[in-house]
Structure formats: C-alpha cells, structure tokens
Amino acid sequence: MKVKLILLRNTNSNCKNIASRLYDFTEFCVQKRYPIHSQDDIDPITIADEDYIFVIKAGHVFWDASIFDQCIEESNEAVMGNENWFLINCKLLKVDPVEAQLRFEANFYGDWYSESILDSYVSNRPTKTFSNEIETLKAFCYPETYYSEIEQLMENLDYSVPKKIEPFAWEIREAARNLDVGYYVVNTEDVSIENKFDKKFDNYIGVCGGLKTYILLGQDYFTNDTSVLMFDISPAAIEWQKYLREHWDGNADSFIQISQDFKELRPGYIAIQDSYRTLERYLNENNISKHDLQTWWNKFQKLNVEYKQIDLFSSSDVLELAKYTENKNNTYFWLSNCFVMERLVFQYGSSHTLEKEFKDTFRQLSNSPCTYDISVNVG
C-alpha cells in the first residue's frame, strides 16, 4: 500500500509570524509515520500512483499515530474529511490517477476545483467527514482566523484562547503538564555500543530516561570513577531513576516487576514506552545481551551518582549545570530529545535551532571539553 502525506504550509500573510512554527509542530506530530511532502496551501495537489493521499494543513495537533490507519479504514469515498484534513482514496477515483489533479485554495477554505479531470466527482468538496472517534484524536487551531491568539499562546501556554481553539490549546497544555508527571521506562532512541573514542571520560551528564545511561557508562571509554549527574525537568523521571538504583538488581528478567512496583507506588505518574518498546525488545534492537546489561549495571552501582532537577531553558539552571564540569578532563553529555518536546516545538519551532543555541552557550560555560550525545548523533 502506497501512502503519501502532504503537509500544507500556511501562506496567509496574517500567519507570517507563526507559520514556520506551526509547520514544524504538525510535522513533529506525524512522528515520521509517513514521508512528508511539503507544499504551499495554494499549490496543486498531484496524484500519481498512490493508493491513498493525506492532505493536512499545518496547525493540527494529534498524538496517536493510529489516526492514519483509522482514516484509511473508514475511507469509502474518493475524498473524505474536511478542508483542513482530508484523505484521497485514489482507488475510488473514476479517472486515471496518473492524470488526476486536485487543487486546494487557501483564500477560500476547501475550494475544490471541479474542472477537467475532476468532473467525475459528484461534489466539488468532501461530503462525508470522518467518525467522531477520529475527530476526537485531532484538533486544529484555524491559524488564518486566530493568528493573533495562537501567537499569544506560543508566548504563554496559559493564555486564554477563544472557545473554538480551546481543544487545540488544551492538548498543548496537557503535553506540557506531562513533563512533570511523565517518565520513560525504556528509551525511544537507540544506543550504540560500537562508538569508539581516543579519550576516556571522567565526567558524565545525562537525562533521566530509560536505561541508556547504564549502557553508556558500561563502555570502556568511561573510567571506573566517572562522576555522574543524572538530571531532568521532570520530577517523575528523576524519582524513577532513583527507584531503579535503589531497588533493581540489573536482572533484565525482573525489570517488568520493578516497573510495575513503581507504577503502583506512583499511580499519578505517566509511564512512557511501557508497553510497545519493552526492555527485551530494546535489548534485541540494540544487540545487547542480558548478561552485558547486568555487567554494566553492576559498574554503574559503584559510581558516584547525583540527581538534580534542571530546566535547560533556565539560565540559572544552566549555570548550575556548568558547575558539574569543574575540575574534569572530558565530559560526555547525553541530551537525548530535550529539544524536540511537544511544547518546545510549538513555542519555538525546529529543534535544531534550540539545540545549536544550547550547545554554543554551554561550550562557553563548560570547564571541560564536551562530547554531546543527541539521540543518535554523537560529537
């Protein structure tokens, strides 16, 4: 099944201050479910040999990637949805899909051109929307109308917005709230045990997420007396890592029980990656044996470890973080996905700018050379 996802940029002049951030944010929500084809919202939409084409306007929020499968499952007409989110079922087109062309006009929401090859459509616009089950999985902020309110929301997530875009604002606020109560049981990013360095690290700074810290510190480019700082903006994440250090023995077979015990102890917290990417799956995907994990955990238990709540967007916290590089020779800094969190992408846009700005600032503050580990990129 060949699926194309077209993400439409907002070209309305009123959206100039928010358009790029809304595009980055909607792209982030897609979570690489499908390759994204980007184009302006006034450009023609071409149909080639695809089975299905999603056309989504920037300014949506949705977290559940299964929404795409659900839309396809409900698709029983050539075009379904609304002018801001619709699905073309190319198999139901009554014209040659190689020649078919659909146009979307931003100045008049959902203005479907019914000329030439589109004459076969009964209607010039979708006449059937998706079910309530699907509609509740997404929210739209109508940027051409509420551009000023959205810009205010980007500055202050507590800003009171009009009722029509309250569902959108609620989702953003809820994502921010999850920073306090969410924690990663197992990492979403891979970890490489093949990296080689011509130096040893006597200092480690890393976020409180999953098991990557223990795997990294088990490698021979860390000394047996490496100083360790585990930090996070989430109190729940910090507490989870402390709980692991105090109650887990490093045995992969007992990890499920440990995580279950913690969930029962803290029912108000949100366990992320608690079902799909299990520990066993994570180890297999990264070519790590249970024995290796046990060995690396035993090494970690002998290290001096400190835990601290840090907000990387707080100048005072970053200054505090830099103090942990004093009197050190080499620092390994695992930042993970700190710059691709939901609220940050919504408020600031592309993660690469935030990442670069932080790295440039911290290099000036740090008292030792830093090697940064950001997702799969190390350097």
Domain residues of the chain, as ranges?
3-144, 183-378
Alpha-carbon distance 159 to 176, whole Å?
14
Nearest partner of 97 among 34, 45, 149, judged by Cα: 45
pLDDT of residue 376: 62
Contacts of 40 (CB under 8 A, 6+ apart): 8, 9, 11, 106
Alpha-carbon distance 267 to 73, whole Å?
35
Of 60-74, 102-116, 259-273, 291-305, give the lowest mean pLDDT range: 102-116
**Backbone angles phi and psi of 213, in degrees to 5:** -55, -45
Alpha-carbon distance 142 to 233, whole Å?
31
Report, as an integer, the average pLDDT of 234-262. Answer: 96
pTM, rounded to two decimals: 0.76
Nearest partner of 337 among 61, 66, 31, judged by Cα: 31
pLDDT in tens, 12-59: 999 999 999 999 999 999 988 898 999 998 887 777 889 999 999 999
Query: What's the per-residue H, E or C state across 252-284?
Result: HHHHHHHHHHHHHHCCCCEEECCCCCCHHHHHH
